[in-house]
Amino acid sequence: MFSFMFATGIENSYPTIQGGRFRVDEMEKCGFYRHWKTDFELIQDLGVRFLRYGPAIHTTWRGPGKYDWEFSDITFADLQRRDIVPIVDLCHFGVPDWVGNFQNPDFPRLFQQYARDFARRYPWVQLYTPVNEMYICATFSARYGWWNEQMTTDRAFVNALKYIVRANVLAMQAILEVRPDAIFVQSESSEYFHAENPAAIAPAEVMNSERFLSLDLNYGRRVDSEMYEYLMDNGMTREEYHFFLGNKLKQHCILGNDYYITNEHRVSADGSTCASGEIFGYTEITRHYYDRYRLPVMHTETNLKEGPNGDEAVHWLWKEWANVLRVRNDGIPILGFTWYSLTDQVDWDVALRENNGTVNPLGLYDLDRNIRPVGRAYKQLISDWRDVLPTQSVCLVVPIATPQEEHETWLDVSFDAARGHSLGLSAETSDPKQEA
C-alpha cells in the first residue's frame, strides 16, 4: 500500500480533426508504439511507481463487443511484471470512427460495455480515469470547434458534456461490478476566470460556475441555479439531470486536478477571454475544488516547456511541488503528483488542431529518450521525498495494491469489504423509503 503517488504519463490523446478525416494519435507521434519497452524502463529508472496510460481506443475497440487486445496485452503484462501501477485512461479526447463523436447518444451505453470488458480482461488493474478531462473534451469538441464533431454551439456543448459524463459514470459502475475496490482518479482541468474590470464580473461568474459542471454531474452534486437553467435551455432533460443526482459514486473517487500556466484566464466585459498566466496558482484553485467536493486530491497533470535557458521546466516543477506541500500543510488530503508526460509531445502548441509535427519540449525525456533537466530534477525530488511523506504526511492512506500484491491476504480482505460496501449502498438506494 502507498501513501503518496509519484506519477507520470504516456501522452495518449487521439482526437480527430479536419472534419473527422485525420486522427491525431499522440502515441504514434511520440514514438510510444515503437519505444514502449524503453519508456517503461525509463519510468522505473525515475523511481516512478504510478503511470497514467491506457490503450488507444480507436485501434483497440473495433465494434460493439469486438476488440483487438494484442498491444494492450503486451504492454499491460509488462507493467504487471515491472510492478508499475497503471492509472488507466480508457477514453482520452476521442472515440473510434464507428462511434462517430461525442454527439452520439449511444456512446455512454457502448462505453460502459467497453469498460466492463477491459476490467474483466485485466482484473488486477485497480486505478482508472475512465474519461480524461471531461470538461476540456466537451469544450474543445463542441464549443470551440477544434476536435471530433467540431461544433460551436451551447446545445452541442451540453450534448457532449452530458454524454461524456454519463459515459464516465456508467463506466465506473461497470468496473465496480468487476473490481469492487476500484478507485477512480478524475483527471480534470482546474480553471479560474478573472474579471479584468467591473463590467466583466458577471460573465466571469458564469464561467466560474461552468468550470464545475462536469464534476458536479459526475459526483451527483446539484449544479448552481444559473447552470441548471443553462443545461435545461440547451437540451438536458430533467430525467437526464436526475440520473446524475441519483448516481453517487464519489466515495470511490480521487479528485484529480490538472494545472498548467494556461489554466487561468482574463475575462473581458463582452465575455471574451485570454490567458492571464499564473495568478492564484495551484494551491488556491485546488482549495476551490476541494471545498466544493471534499474529496482527497491528486495533482494529475502539469508541465512547462523547456525554454532557452534550459531550466524553465525545472523551476516550474519545484514551484508546483511547493504548491503540493502547501496544500498538504493546509490540511487538504493530497495523495499524488504527476509530471505529464514522460516524453515530449507533438503539436500541443496548437492544441492538436493542426498536423504540423512540431515537437513540444514538455517531457521528462525528449523523443530520442534522452533525459531532460526536469527529468533529472523529478528523479531527485522523488528520491528525496518518497520515504518522508508516508510517515509525516497528513494524507489519507489509500488501499492501493501493486500488481504483484494482487493475491496477498490484505487485498482479499479489502476486496471483500469493498464488495460488501457496494452491495450495501445498492440495497440502500433501492429501498422505497430512501427513494421517497
pLDDT range class, residue 372, cuts 50, 70, 90: very high
Three-class SS state of 106: coil
Q: What is the per-residue DSSP string for 307-376?
A: -TTS-HHHHHHHHHHHHHHHHHHTT--EEEEEES-SB-EESGGGTT-S----EE--SSB-TT-PBPHHHH
Q: pTM above 0.75?
A: yes
pLDDT at 101 over 60: yes
Q: Please enumerate in sequence order all residues whose Cβ is within 8 A of that of 369, keeping only pairs 6 or more positions apart, or say none.
A: 35, 38, 39, 42, 343
Strand partners, 338: 7
pLDDT digits over 145-193, tens only?
Answer: 999 999 999 999 999 999 999 999 999 999 999 999 999 999 999 999 9
DSSP conformation letters of 175-192: HHHH-TT-EEEEEEE--E
pLDDT digits (tens, 9 = 90+) for 381-410: 999 999 888 655 544 456 788 888 877 765
Q: Is 90 exceeded by the pLDDT of residue 295?
A: yes
Per-residue burial over 407-421, b = 16 or more CB atoms within 10 Å of its CB, e = otherwise: eeeebeebbeebeee
Residue 95 scores a pLDDT above 90: yes
Note the pLDDT of residue 394.
47
Q: Name the burial class of residue 295, with classes exposed (0-12), middle (13-18) and buried (19+) by CB atoms within 10 angstroms of its CB.
A: buried
Q: Residues with Cβ < 8 Å from 102, sequence gap 6 or more?
A: 95, 137, 138, 141, 142, 148, 149, 159, 160, 163, 164
Cα 190 to Cα 58, 135, 161, 202, 228: the distances in Å are 27, 10, 16, 20, 21
Residue 406 confidence (pLDDT) = 75
Which H or E run includes 46? Answer: helix 32-46
- pLDDT tens, 307-338? 999 999 999 999 999 999 999 999 999 999 99
The confidence score (pLDDT) of residue 396 equals 47
State residue 403's pLDDT score. 87
Mean pLDDT of the chain: 93
Do β-strands 273-275 and 359-360 pair in parallel, antiparallel, or remain unpaired? unpaired
Which pLDDT does position 1 carry in this prediction? 54
d(CA 365, CA 367): 7
Rounded Cα–Cα distance for residues 115 and 6 (Å): 25
d(CA 313, CA 317): 6
Q: Does 218 score more than 70 pLDDT? A: yes
What is the tens place of the pLDDT at every residue in 18-37?
A: 999 999 999 999 999 999 99
Residue 435 has pLDDT above 70, yes or no: no
Query: Hey, what domains does the chain have and what are their CATH numbers?
Result: 5-405 (3.20.20.80)
249-291 pLDDT, tens digit per residue, is: 999 999 999 999 999 999 999 999 999 999 999 999 999 999 9
pLDDT range class, residue 436, cuts 50, 70, 90? very low
The DSSP output letter for 109 is H
Q: What is the mean pLDDT of residues 77-106?
A: 98
CA–CA dist 247, 169 (Å, integer): 8
- What is the model's pLDDT at position 405? 80
Cite the DSSP H helix spans in 53-200. 57-60, 70-82, 107-121, 134-142, 154-178
